[in-house]
Structures are given as structure tokens and as C-alpha cells.
Amino acid sequence: MRRLYFTLLLLIAVPVFGAESEHPLLPADTSSPRATLNSFMENCETAYLLLKEKGRDQTDVQARLEVNEAIRNLKQCMDMRAVAEFRRDNSTKEAAVALKEVLDRIKLPKQKNIPDRKMMTNEDGSLIENWTIPNTELTFQLIQEGPYSGSYQFSSSTVDRAGEFLQRVDHLPYKKGATEGFATSYLTSPGNKGLAELIKRLPASMRERKNGQAVWQWVGIGAVLFGMMFLMAIIYTLGRRVSRGGAAAGLVKYVLGLAFPIVAVFIPLTAIRIIENDLVISGATLYIAKFNLGLLVLFCSMVVVLGIGRRVGEVIVSSPNIKAQSVDAQLIRIISRLLGFTFAMALLLQGGQHLGIPLSSLLAGAGVAGMALALSAQDVLKNVFGSIMLVMDKPFRLGERIKVKHYDGVVEEIGLRSTKIRLLNGHQAIIPNEDMAKSDIENIGRRPFIRRVVEIPLPIDIGSAKAKKAVEIVQDLLKDHEGFNPEFPPRVWLNDFERDHLELKMIYWYHPPDYWKYTEHADRVNRQILDAFEAADIAMALPAFSTRVDDASNLITPAPELT
């Protein structure tokens, strides 16, 4: 009897095989409920016969192509638009198996009573939107948009409740000619021959289904997840060890450290493949496992993208034309990290949609997370934006002497959060970049010259001749002086009458701005002025003081001479 049944099924499937061979790109006929039902039944029987004859692990290329074609046609018979993309393939197979089991148990109308295209057309030419198999909730819905517009498919509600319908009719006997045991065979057959041979040797209790899966499947999924976590822990430990110290510990080593998060991406992907194809986990267990493993893949991928951004910046900065701690180097690092962060966010949105998370939820979550991050790290963000402003404006570079606030020193390092200045007394000042961006900065390191302004006090009673002589002496000493630039001639003149002296003022400019050479020159000029004044019998005025006695405290206080 079984041989007769198998032969009948094979005869039914032969036209289908022939049609696929003759027209391999011909889509399933879904022009009416009758056509969709017939296409669905034929393709389910095709898959069943190949599964029964060849098993899941099909090495026969032609058989594999025929199964894939049958699955493709089954997808066209069911409305899967409401199912997340990462669940769609498995949901199609499981829903098809469940619906086939239901249809093999319930009474169906005769072919002539199942409406064709003509019967689903109204008098005005419009199409009837749906048709339900009598005495059931199995509904065919007219698709009105998308690539399957105008076709009839099992409605999304019918597909979603396929498992429920199977449970409700599971006690009914199979009809004559049904694909008996299709669901059991599909849901419990391992995905490769080696595992199938092992399962056959296990006790019958290991093949019993508990909570939707066979016991051996629960054991398998536990082993896969444990092995995955063990490998991920090893990868994480090795990655941290190799990348410790960043680019400063060795650029090649730092770049090669990216291999570990890349490998980490493939570990959960491999776990998904084993769970789905080899262990043949189904139902909610499969979706939960795939969703969480998919999130892990997404997270590892984001780590890889962020790592690429950081390492690209360090590779560019390693160029001999760029100083590692210069403002340009910091700008390159910032841009590289921002680009990496941008690509990581795009990956998050795209991957989240693939996992079935609505875009609105992703954007809302990103907005909330962004606000929380901004509030909790606003000081850090202020310093980062301050560093960006410093990089854009470039008010100073490494090695330049600057004055900012009450600090005077040489710029030693420009970081993302702060700038380090080595003060003239040897101390190191660390100033947040937010303050640096808001402060007035005097860049001494960029001065083209050093200007010297000196006021020489002459006695108030020196007389006109000697005062004139003093001006001439200083003018002669500064004529074509060391560091002289014709565009900046020295200036010497009698500036003002003070209360106790006559002020002679001199200004000259020293080029280039070499501070220690400038001090040596200033020392020589000072001694030459003293010698010349002594030879010309010109004295300098000394500050005059008078003594005042405070009767209240009997203290003697020096006070400036007022006369």
C-alpha cells in the first residue's frame, strides 16, 4: 500500500518536475484561490518527495535546485510581508509545512467549487478581495500592492496562525494520498548525514519532542551556544592583548588586532547556520536564537567598523609628513573616528531593520540614547567640540610658545580633551580644550621679531645739551645693530618730563625672534650705553624718596619725592 501511495505521489509530481525543467523561471500560478491552492499543494509535494528520497543534506545538484524552486514558489503563495526579513525564509517553510498538514486532514471543496480568476471577478471588472475555504479560517487575500500585486496568496493572518491551525486538527486522520508525516519529518530530521546517523543511534527518548523541539535538538543548541561563548571569550581576550597600548605600542600590531573582531563576526554567523540548517531548530526557539545572535553579529560588525575608523586615522598619521601629535594629526584622527561612527550608525539602522526592528523605533532609540549620552557626557563633548575648533582655527601648533589665561609655556600635546603646556618654570599645565577655545591666546611662538622698549631716566636738571647728547649716543649705538631690519629702524627720543626725571625712550626690533641671542644683544647694548654715558659725563637719575613720620604709629614710611 505504501509503495502504491509513493508511486501516486511521484506521478503527481512528474508534471511539476517537467514544467520546472522546461520553464525553470516560470513563477507559481497565483491568479486565483484555485490556482494558488493547486500551486501550493504541488510544490509542497515536490519538496516532500525530494526530502523523503534524498534527505536534507542533498548532494544531488538537480535535486537541490528543484527543492529551491519549490520553496521559491511556496513563498509566492503566502503573504509574508509582515514577517521580518531575517525570519522570512524559515517562516515560509514552517508555515508551508503546517498548512500542508492542515490541508491533508480537512475536507476541501471540489475543484470546480474553488473559485478561479473568472469567479473572483465582479461584473464591473474589479476583483473580489478574499475567499475563505468553507468551514475554516484559511483565507486567500488579493494582494493590491508590491511585486505580487493582483495575485491571491494565503493571507498574513492565515500564515501567522498556521501552527495554531495544525494543533487544532492534529487529532484528525490523514486523507487518502496525503503527505503523511511531512511536519514530523521536516521538523526533526537533522541537516547533515553525519548527524542523522548519530541521531539514529540515540535512545528513542532523545528523539521525543519537548516544548517544540526534540530533546537532541535542545542538547545541540546548548552545545552550540556554549561553544560560541567560549570562542568569543578567547577572541575578546586575545584582541585586547594584541591591541593593548594602541598605535603607540606598534602600528602593525595595532592594525592586525582588528582581525579578532572580524573573526568574532563569523562565530555567531556560524552558530546561526548550525542551529538553522544542521540542528533544524524551528518555531519561536529559532527566532529567539536568530534574533539574539543577529544582534551579536550586528554589535561585532559595529566594533569592526569603529576599529577600522580608528586604524585608518593612525595609518594616515604615521606618514612621515605628519607629526604624530600635531593639530593636523588630531584633525585626521577626529575625522576618521567620526566617519567610523557614522558608518556604524548606518549599519545599526540597516541591521536593525533586517532583524525586524521598525525604523521609527531605531531612530527614537538612537535619539533617546543620544540625549542621555549628551547629558551624561556634556563636559566631554564640550571638550571634544573645543578640540575640533582648535583644529579648525589652528591658533597654535606643537612646540610653539603661547600665553593663555595666566599660563606661559610651550605647547607639548594637543589631545581630544585637553591641551598640555610645559610652563617656563618646568611645570606642566593641562587645560581643557573647552577653555582653550573660549580664551584669548597670545601666540609668542609666531612672532616675526622681538621688540624691545626701554625707558632711561635722566636727571631733571641735565640740561638741553647733555640731553641731546644722550639721544645721539643711543642712536649711534643702535645704528645697523645686530638683528636690524631696514623696515623697522630703531627709535630714540626724549619722551616726557616726569616729576623727578627726564625720560629718554628707545625702541628697537630684533630679527629673527631668537630669544637667547636677543638677550645677549640686549646685554651688550646696555653695557655700551653705560660706558658711553660715563665717558660723556652723563648720569642717570635715581629714584628720589622722602621720609614721612606717622605720628599715630611712630612708623617711618618711605614715600616718593613729590617736589
Mean pLDDT, range 121-134, rounded to an integer: 92
Same domain for 27 and 96, yes or no, is yes
C-alpha cell at 405: 589665561
Same domain for 29 and 124, yes or no, is yes
Same domain for 308 and 413, yes or no, is no
Same domain for 65 and 102, yes or no, is yes
Global pTM value: 0.56
Whole-angstrom distance, CA of residue 446 vs CA of residue 410: 12
Q: Which of 174, 189, 204 is the last residue of a domain?
A: 189
Query: How many other C-beta atoms can be found within 10 angstroms of the C-beta atom of residue 281?
Result: 26
Whole-angstrom distance, CA of residue 306 vs CA of residue 330: 17
pLDDT computed for residue 494 by the predictor? 94
Mean pLDDT, range 409-436, rounded to an integer: 87
Give residue 378's pLDDT band: very low, low, confident or very high (50, 70, 90): low
Whole-angstrom distance, CA of residue 101 vs CA of residue 172: 10
Residue 300, domain member (yes or no): yes
Kindly report the three-state secondary structure assignment for every residue of 423-466: ECCCCEEEEEHHHHHHCCEEEHHHCCCEEEEEEEEEECCCCHHH
Residue 194, domain member (yes or no): no
Same domain for 96 and 26, yes or no, is yes
Same domain for 33 and 133, yes or no, is yes
Going by the DSSP 8-state scheme, the letter that residue 410 receives in this structure is E
Q: Which of 327, 348, 376 is the last residue of a domain?
A: 376
pLDDT digit string, tens, across residues 445-468: 899 999 999 999 999 989 999 999
Lowest mean pLDDT among 234-238, 397-401, 414-418, 495-499: 414-418
pLDDT digit string, tens, across residues 470-506: 999 999 999 999 999 999 999 999 999 988 899 999 9
pLDDT computed for residue 243 by the predictor? 78
pLDDT digit string, tens, across residues 251-264: 777 888 888 888 88
pLDDT digit string, tens, across residues 335-356: 888 788 888 888 888 887 777 6
Q: Which of 445, 460, 492 is the last residue of a domain?
A: 445
C-alpha cell at 255: 592594525
C-alpha cell at 98: 503546517
For residue 97, what are the domain limits? 2-189
User: Is the pLDDT confidence value at 92 over 70?
Assistant: yes
User: Is the pLDDT confidence value at 15 over 50?
Assistant: no
- How many domains does the chain divide into? 4
Same domain for 440 and 471, yes or no, is no
